[in-house]
Amino acid sequence: MRTVAVVSFVGAVSGVAGPTQAQNFAFNDVAINGNQRVADGTILTFAGIARGEQVTAGSVNDASQRIRESGLFSEVNVRTQGNTLVIDVVEFPTVNRVNIEGNSQVRDAQLLSVVRSEPRRVYTPTQAEADTAAITEVYASLGRINAVVTPRIIPLSDNRVDLVFEVVESGLTEVERIAFVGNRNFSESRLRRVLETKQAGILRQVITRDTFAADRVAVDRRVLTDFYQSRGYADFQVQNVDVALTRERDAYLMTFNVQEGQQFKFGNISVSSAIPEADAEVFRAALKTRPGAVYTPVSLESDISRLELLATRMGINFLQVEPRITRDDRNLQLNVEFALVRGERIFVERIDIEGNSTTLDRVIRNQFRVVEGDPFNPREVRESAERIRALGFFQNAAVNAREGSGPNQVIVDVDVEEGPTGSLSFGANYNTDVGLGLLASYGQDNFLGRGQSLDVQVSTAETNRVLSLSFSEPNFLGRDLRAGFAMNYGTTDNENANFDTESFTLRPSLNFPVSDNGRLSTYYSFNYEDLTDVSTTVSEIIQEEAERGAVSTNSVGYTYSFDSRRAGIDPVTSYVFRFGQEFGVGDSNFVKTTALAAVETQVLSEEVTLRATIEGGSLDYADNDSRVTDRYFLGSRLMRGFDAGGIGPRDADTGDALGGNKYAVARLEAEFPLGLPEEYGVSGGLFLDHGSVWDVGNTYSADVLYNDFTARTVVGATIFWTTPIGPLRFNFTEALDAQDEDETKSFDVTISTSF
């Protein structure tokens, strides 16, 4: 026993014995027993009692409690012995090792990352319980709410223990049903497709969003609100989300109680100005929102940005646009006044970027339309944050503004968390035109942290081999100018064909916006093409074309595209238009023209999608000397129901497909649900294709069938299936109008693409 001024700590505290319960005492000595690691002085500091100090039973009990609260002792016993205060303690053991056992679905590293107990630190039951709760929470966030975690301690020598968390993982507790109450205009199946959370189905081993996550409910509420408001339901509210467990605790039941309200349209649209130099009529002419259109906040935000940008171009700083909305409940209209007002004179002092360990600062700064010293615009900062998130480079991106060195200065803080941006894949693909093939690809969307994209693909199929390389810089010269470079090398080797091909293409390009929804791409192209192993029985036309040997061409071209989806103002109906021309220069003189117009809309409460597309092309060579490798062929991509080269001009003697210098196709399609749970990703469709390819050009005196426009018509049914490897479509076709020599097919499988 030692008599020093120290107190030790224990988990259980006894009362103070002896006459201290009846009167005050002063202790000349303090004796501390049982401590090995904790110094006597530390224990006495916890106790808070000085030698010679007058103490009572209450103050001794308080000292005992303070020692226990230090978390260092499993037992504490404080007693008096004459003029000596005796403190007996038993120290908590030291953690030798922390381990997880019984886990197979979650890795040790993920679980240990939430454990705060550490080797060579003191073991405490309180911390072990907290760690147990943290591990249980990890399993709950992954949908395994019935997982059981039990902490065990294994005693070792020298007052050490191994801390082991034994886990019984249990099965997934999935979202078995998502229901809606109060929805009148949209079905449950349509609304479920909006949510991030999905119902459990046959793909439950692949779809991880069918497990319940509490933080995902807030996202679901927001996207559901955005869905309704973008369709004119300005008063829509999610009143509450009821989440309940089944009696067996093996599934969640979610119910969204919603209030849709009425659908509103835009009424009167006006502009008022409180700034002398801002002419309201000039700004009124810049608006795109029109009376009678379905109300959507996206349209408002787009016009506000457009007006503020116009003010900047006119040299009017600190102009802010306030949308003042008045309701016309009788006519279900919202009248909007865009008020031009003077904002506060606040400047951007600097933009601070943190967390970008890979991505260069300039890639993030390129998403801002303001720089240091410019007038501060809160809307522009919010839009810049959206552009940063849209890059897809970061798992999280937060953009906030705070006061700078003065009241009229603002510092914009950008805090990002890097995410994966590259992929390396090996696999196989199948196409009914080229057969089974192997594919290896490498893609990087943020090459060297510069925001550049790089894509390399090597594929080999039964009848062809392709090597492709593409690279693009989206902010060439620091502007919204995409500079691209593409190279493609391919060969065909088809035992059933009368000739093989070898081709090489090199194409640098520039792409830039010309309007809100329009972009223009310009390019130069070098192309090498050779026909090899030409059979002596092949068409005379192909033999004549092959005798020219390898042909190299140089060309320049442009493509204009208009896509209403870029603005995202109308989520129900979208339009696409593309028009391009390529001009041969040097030894090759030709003009190649292509055009496409398409529209897509959703009807019957957006349950049915209707698509209509018309496209065509024309290839005009000097002296009509195009080759078979130049001309158009209509396969399953452009016109379903026919083999590659299955329709169009054909040699009357040999039956060889020759392709055509002109083609035109119209496609109509409807996609609709089949009544299956939407998480299966299966829907149905009907389609009709009508078109033709014609005009071989120089026939070299050969007899050519279908050299003039000869229309074909195909109808069919489609099964759409969204799979983990990509969207597939299974087409079942029937040719209503086909020629005798056409090569039809009644079934094919392709990758589903949008126009």
In the prediction, which pLDDT does 7 show? 34
474 assigned to some structural domain: no
In the prediction, which pLDDT does 701 show? 87
What mean pLDDT do residues 135-142 have? 87
Each residue of 228-261: pLDDT tens digit?
Answer: 999 999 999 999 999 998 888 878 899 999 999 9
Residue 660 pLDDT grade (very low, low, confident, very high; cuts 50, 70, 90) = very high
Q: Which of 14-23, 186-195, 246-255 has the highest average model confidence (pLDDT)?
A: 186-195
* 615 and 711 belong to one structural domain: yes
Distance (Å, rounded) from C-alpha 242 to C-alpha 255? 5
Q: What is the DSSP secondary structure assignment for residue 657, as one 8-state letter? A: B
Residue 1 pLDDT grade (very low, low, confident, very high; cuts 50, 70, 90) = very low
Each residue of 509-559: pLDDT tens digit?
Answer: 999 999 889 999 999 999 999 998 888 889 999 999 999 889 999 999 999
Each residue of 195-212: pLDDT tens digit?
Answer: 988 887 655 554 555 678
Distance (Å, rounded) from C-alpha 116 to C-alpha 120? 12
Range in 48-52, 143-147, 149-153 the model is least confident about: 48-52
Place of tokens 């978390």: 71
* 56 and 102 belong to one structural domain: no
DSSP 73-117: EEEEEEEEETTEEEEEEEEPPEEEEEEEES-SSS-HHHHHTT---
Distance (Å, rounded) from C-alpha 329 to C-alpha 148? 55
Distance (Å, rounded) from C-alpha 537 to C-alpha 473? 48
Each residue of 396-409: pLDDT tens digit?
Answer: 899 999 999 988 99
Model confidence at 132: pLDDT above 90: yes
In the prediction, which pLDDT does 464 show? 80
In the prediction, which pLDDT does 115 show? 93
Model confidence at 415: pLDDT above 80: yes
Sign of the Cα torsion 606, 608, 609, 612 reads negative
Q: Give the CATH number, domain containing residue 113.
A: 3.10.20.310
What mean pLDDT do residues 728-745 have? 93
φ/ψ of residue 127, rounded to 5:
-70, -35
Each residue of 82-119: pLDDT tens digit?
Answer: 778 888 888 888 899 999 999 988 999 899 999 999 99
Amino acid type, 555: S
356 assigned to some structural domain: yes
* 75 and 27 belong to one structural domain: yes
Range in 135-149, 279-293, 357-371, 468-482 the model is least confident about: 135-149
In the prediction, which pLDDT does 431 show? 56
Strands (E), 656-725: 662-673, 682-694, 704-705, 712-723
Higher pLDDT, 575 or 207: 575
Each residue of 493-512: pLDDT tens digit?
Answer: 766 668 889 999 999 999 99
Q: Which two structure tokens, joined as six digits, stand for 294?
A: 């379905």
What mean pLDDT do residues 586-605 have? 92
* 333 and 354 belong to one structural domain: no
Distance (Å, rounded) from C-alpha 30 to C-alpha 556? 96
What average pLDDT is seen over the chain?
87
Model confidence at 626: pLDDT above 80: yes
* 109 and 41 belong to one structural domain: no
* 746 and 732 belong to one structural domain: yes
Model confidence at 437: pLDDT above 80: no
450 assigned to some structural domain: no
Range in 28-32, 232-236, 548-552, 579-583 the model is least confident about: 28-32
Structurally, the chain folds into a number of domains equal to 6
Distance (Å, rounded) from C-alpha 103 to C-alpha 83? 56
Range in 52-56, 411-415, 422-426, 688-692 the model is least confident about: 52-56
* 269 and 316 belong to one structural domain: yes
Distance (Å, rounded) from C-alpha 507 to C-alpha 526? 6
Closest Cα partner for 93 from 127, 130, 141, 66? 127
Model confidence at 710: pLDDT above 80: yes
* 632 and 715 belong to one structural domain: yes
Burial call 427-441: b when 16+ CB within 10 Å, e when fewer: eeeebebbeebeeee
Distance (Å, rounded) from C-alpha 51 to C-alpha 603? 88
Closest Cα partner for 194 from 236, 152, 149? 236
Q: Are strands 174-181 and 237-245 parallel, antiparallel or unpaired?
A: unpaired
In the prediction, which pLDDT does 5 show? 34
* 52 and 109 belong to one structural domain: no
Q: Which two structure tokens, joined as six digits, stand for 130?
A: 């907290």
* 74 and 98 belong to one structural domain: no
717 assigned to some structural domain: yes
In the prediction, which pLDDT does 69 show? 80
Domain boundary among 126, 148, 168: 168
Domain boundary among 295, 325, 342: 342
354 assigned to some structural domain: yes
* 731 and 622 belong to one structural domain: yes
Burial label, 163 (beta-carbon count in 10 A; 0-12, 13-18, 19+) = buried
Model confidence at 15: pLDDT above 50: no
Model confidence at 77: pLDDT above 90: no
In the prediction, which pLDDT does 336 show? 96
Q: Give the CATH number, domain containing residue 583.
A: 2.40.160.50
What mean pLDDT do residues 649-657 have? 93
55 assigned to some structural domain: yes
Sign of the Cα torsion 271, 272, 274, 280 reads positive
Amino acid type, 345: R
495 assigned to some structural domain: no
Do the beta carbons of residue 631 and residue 658 sit within 8 Å?
Answer: yes
Q: Cα–Cα–Cα angle for 258, 260, 266, nearest 5°?
A: 150
Half-sphere exposure of residue 470: CA atoms within 13 angstroms, side-chain side: 15
Count of C-beta atoms within a 10 Å radius of residue 28? 11
Which distant-in-sequence residues (6+ apart) come within 8 Å of 555 by Cβ?
524, 525, 527, 582, 583, 584, 585, 588, 590, 592
Query: How much of the chain is helix, strand and coil, in % rounded to 5?
Result: 15, 45, 35
Domain that holds residue 725: 510-518+541-751
Distance (Å, rounded) from C-alpha 570 to C-alpha 230? 8
In the prediction, which pLDDT does 22 show? 44
| Total-model pTM | 0.76
* 656 and 738 belong to one structural domain: yes
157 assigned to some structural domain: yes
Closest Cα partner for 651 from 532, 535, 533, 530? 535
Q: Determine the length of the chain.
A: 755
Domain boundary among 259, 283, 314: 259
